[in-house]
Amino acid sequence: MSEKINDKDKDNYCVVIGGSNMDIGGKTFAPIIFADSNPGKVSISLGGVARNIAENLSKMNVKVHFITFLGNDKYGKEINQSCKKLGMDMSSTLIAEQASTPIYLYINNDNGDLALGINDTEIEKYITVDYIKKHLPIINGAKIVVADTNLSEDVLKFLAENCTPPLFIDPVSTTKAMKIKNILNKITILKPNKIEAEKLSGVTINNDDDLNKAGKILIEKGLKKLFISLGSEGVFLADEKMMLKLPAHQFKVENTKGAGDAFTTGLILSSFLNYDTKQMAEYAMNLSEKYLKGELGK
């Protein structure tokens, strides 16, 4: 399977709507000791679920029209310039004079898994229904629309009800995932993790039977395709015809940050190629594993 879009698909474009931020992160060298100073490594990089997905897609020959929100500050200008350099159309991005560019602060444990994250995204309130309505012609001209839940509940509802291309949603977090609970029937593809799937389905997931039960509930709510990320255990997928758990390949991982965004990128790319649900999951898992091994884009 090719990792990049073929020439015949290049005239299509994808609209990505959602968050951009500066990531400030740390990884401890040993198991975390809370309420104490931990030896480790700290880094600063460009981030945001939607921005990460938009970057991945741009690197794989997909035309991206990116609608995000940035402050008119140093970080905002850096993100804007980076996105333009990657070839993204940033003409619909909101630059807010009244707010600063979002910052995501996270701490990973010595295994590379997230222990704590704090997302300062007060600026998201400036993307309103009226703002999205103004850009609806661009949105509905896309082959695929991708959104994360850094948007407000009202905006997500308007988008779901007025978006004509297939709509992909990344729930981002357990708290933000609840914004889409009442619009699942308008979503083409949803990619929650296990905890987000529990919140949306009302099922506590302890085993494969629980996964099947949660998947059945979410599909019965009108969701077309479901991919529940299970981390090192793989992915659970469901649609109207099937439910299946695919195991992940086992290898040493230094840092899991960004793997979920790579998986979502794989779902979008495979949708461009008209793959079925199982093929989409396999393609996305392969892309995510390449990302974790540092091979993506090589």
Q: Please list the rounded mean pLDDT of every run of 10 residues in the chain (298 residues).
A: 48 91 94 95 93 92 95 96 97 92 93 87 88 97 95 96 96 93 97 96 96 97 95 91 85 53 88 91 86 58
Contacts by residues 117-121 (CB-CB < 8 Å, ≥ 24 positions apart): 117/173, 119/21, 119/173, 120/21, 121/19, 121/21, 121/150
The pLDDT of residue 119 is 82
pTM recorded for the entire structure: 0.87
- d(CA 109, CA 107) in angstroms, rounded, equals 7
Could you tell me the residue ranges of all domains in the chain?
Answer: 12-145, 166-298
CATH class, domain 12-145, is alpha beta
Residue 90: CB atoms within 10 Å: 19
The pLDDT of residue 293 is 63
- Identical fold for domains 12-145 and 166-298, yes or no, is yes
The pLDDT of residue 294 is 64
The pLDDT of residue 32 is 95
The pLDDT of residue 7 is 46
For domain 166-298, the CATH superfamily is Ribokinase (3.40.1190.20)
Residue 112 falls in which region: left (phi positive, over 0), alpha (psi -120 to 50) or beta: left
The pLDDT of residue 113 is 85
